[in-house]
């Protein structure tokens, strides 16, 4: 399964970050995941204005990691 992984940090405290995993429905390729990343990130920031996107990646069958 391919997941879009988004790392957000608090704007007021950039060392406090969280990782959000977005399972892609319907399942899609790594290329399609990359193309959908910007839209997913924008949607989250609109509803959570205290956070800023730090990084994103698409993963295939990879376990959860700690945000840096």
pLDDT in tens, 5-54: 999 999 999 999 999 887 777 777 888 888 888 888 888 889 999 999 99
CA-CA distances (angstroms) from residue 34 to 11, 19, 41?
24, 17, 11
Assess if residue 65 is contained within a domain. no
Range of the domain at 53: 2-60
What are the residues whose beta carbons fall under 8 Å from the beta carbon of 43, sequence distance 6 or more?
A: none
Give the number of domains in the chain: 1
What is the pLDDT, as a whole number, of residue 9? 96
Assess if residue 27 is contained within a domain. yes
Assess if residue 68 is contained within a domain. no
Assess if residue 43 is contained within a domain. yes
């Amino acid at each position: 399964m391919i997941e879009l992984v988004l790392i957000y940090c608090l704007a007021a405290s950039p060392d406090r970050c969280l990782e959000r995993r977005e399972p892609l429905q319907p399942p899609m390729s790594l290329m399609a995941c990359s193309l959908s990343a910007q839209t997913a990130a924008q949607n989250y920031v609109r509803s959570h204005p205290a956070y800023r996107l730090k990084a994103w990646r698409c993963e295939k069958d990879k376990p959860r990691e700690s945000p840096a």
